[in-house]
Structure 1
């Protein structure tokens, strides 16, 4: 007779298989996305659900990932920043993708990446529903950071789509050295301006902001520090999407021993009822994220 323990074990094994297959699909697709970038630098004629005009590269990456991830047994739903609604592809877990984070960096040939989140819930999900997250960074080498089962791992992806772990149990360094805040400085609320001035007064902290969130987050994971796309005077919810960017990045950074926040609570505690809902994002070493919350609480 099957027991509850047996059912739990089967469930864990099923999630393990789906997670591994999603990683395989993302790693296999990454070289194709990268190879297709040079000829897909122009904007398409339609807007995405966030009111932005994507590049042909965004659409190309989304189509490849939808096809590959949608073919995985155990994946029930695929959603991306480029699609107005989640797409039913089978039965099982939900996968959210930012196909090409930082695609505005394509023209100047700067860092870009792909973000993936796996949820055990219909979409829109909550932070409690996230099972795993990953991102690929198209830097001088292709690397992939994954967070699953309380562990963050870094891989190098080869041109044939194979990947090999180079760091296991990745954690944020205790002595942070980098910071990067997005948005126009003129649009920052006063509390954010004051906090950034404090950080800048510390000679050990260096500005690192490249225009692709995932590249800046990777700097924080490597050197310690803080990345933020904050609340703005003209955009209180910031720019980043909670399902596609906030939850997965918050999950990765928290799993690596850091902290995440929307300015008042963990990103994983944020609840939104819109697939493309936005949120302010602050991630990094706990002391620095606590500093943001302390400044913003003064405005309450």
Structure 2
């Protein structure tokens, strides 16, 4: 299971580069959001995971690639939307993104986000190589979560591309009050279904599942509890991508004092060198994640 053993960038160069990456993501987010209304249609292409891309996926990826790729200190850019990484400079750090997590929610106008991770090394990297990670949530209020140097902070992003720190050193609430589980119930494994039914019996917890992973994760960071997208009978490796979703979300939750797991170990200890490898994902309060691991043992 997870412990709060996360890496920090310790050189001035790395700190400045991380600052620049976070700034680009924050200042690009309003442009991504503004560009969504005219891009709610499918493109003619598929991403490397075999999913049909939305026009908004391509738009967000192109913007972020151009701007992050121009930053001093960034050597490599990787995206869920691209089959391979791109060499963008000679810097020591790499940036991996899910440019528009939950883009299938464009049609019903549900929550979406941008997930990012900064790695100290080339891609595909290992979870313990992360030096910063976070996400932008395109909700009623546009917010950004950033985990770095052992701290998780929240910013509000405004339409004029300015942003403001609103919460510092966020910790997961001790008594988690929400839960959400992805995947079709008939496709769950027997052990996971038994665990989920047990969680549902606690009437102090409320079901919060919106079908947009980043929105569901933010619910856990706000209220505590547990979110899972488990291994499925039809997909034993899970659905979510290690490099672009598993590692960064695990890093954020562990930095906030919570836990992450692939069902047996911390998400940050998952060792899958394929750029687009998948993983089951479980994040939340440590006691619940420990209970889940015991149920799946």
Q: State whether TM-score is above 0.5.
A: yes
- The answer for unaligned runs of 5 or more in structure 1 is 1-9
CA displacement at 1:46 relative to structure 2:
1.3
The equivalent of 2:33 in structure 1 is 34
The equivalent of 1:69 in structure 2 is 68
Task: Compare CA radii of gyration and give the structure with the larger one.
Answer: 1
The equivalent of 2:90 in structure 1 is 91
Find the aligned partners of 1:72 and 1:147 in 2 and give their Cα distance. 20
> Alpha carbons of 1:28 and 1:265: their partners in 2 closer, same or farther (altered >3 Å)?
same
Find the aligned partners of 1:292 and 1:104 in 2 and give their Cα distance. 29
Find the aligned partners of 2:72 and 2:160 in 1 and give their Cα distance. 23
Q: What TM-score do you get using the length of structure 2 for normalisation?
A: 0.96
Q: Deviations over 1:75-125 (max 9, x none)?
A: 000000000000000012100000000111111111000000000111110
Find the aligned partners of 2:184 and 2:53 in 1 and give their Cα distance. 21
The equivalent of 1:280 in structure 2 is 280
Q: Deviations over 1:35-54 (max 9, x none)?
A: 01010011111111000001
Find the aligned partners of 1:285 and 1:11 in 2 and give their Cα distance. 28
Find the aligned partners of 1:207 and 1:54 in 2 and give their Cα distance. 29
- Counterpart of 2:202 in 1: which secondary structure? coil
Within 5 A, what are the aligned runs for 1:155-174? 155-174=155-174
Q: What TM-score do you get using the length of structure 1 for normalisation?
A: 0.95
The equivalent of 1:52 in structure 2 is 51
The equivalent of 2:237 in structure 1 is 237
Q: Deviations over 1:189-212 (max 9, x none)?
A: 001100010110000111111111
The equivalent of 2:215 in structure 1 is 215
The equivalent of 1:5 in structure 2 is none
Find the aligned partners of 1:275 and 1:235 in 2 and give their Cα distance. 18
Within 5 A, what are the aligned runs for 1:255-266? 255-266=255-266
Q: Deviations over 1:212-265 (max 9, x none)?
A: 111000000000011111000110011000000000000000000000000000
CA displacement at 1:273 relative to structure 2:
1.5
Larger RCO, structures 1/2 (Cα 8 Å, 6+ apart):
2
CA displacement at 1:160 relative to structure 2:
1.4
Find the aligned partners of 1:104 and 1:11 in 2 and give their Cα distance. 38
CA displacement at 1:11 relative to structure 2:
5.8
Count of aligned positions: 288
Q: Deviations over 1:161-212 (max 9, x none)?
A: 1111100010100110111111101100001100010110000111111111
Find the aligned partners of 2:136 and 2:189 in 1 and give their Cα distance. 32
Q: Name the Cα RMSD after superposition.
A: 0.9
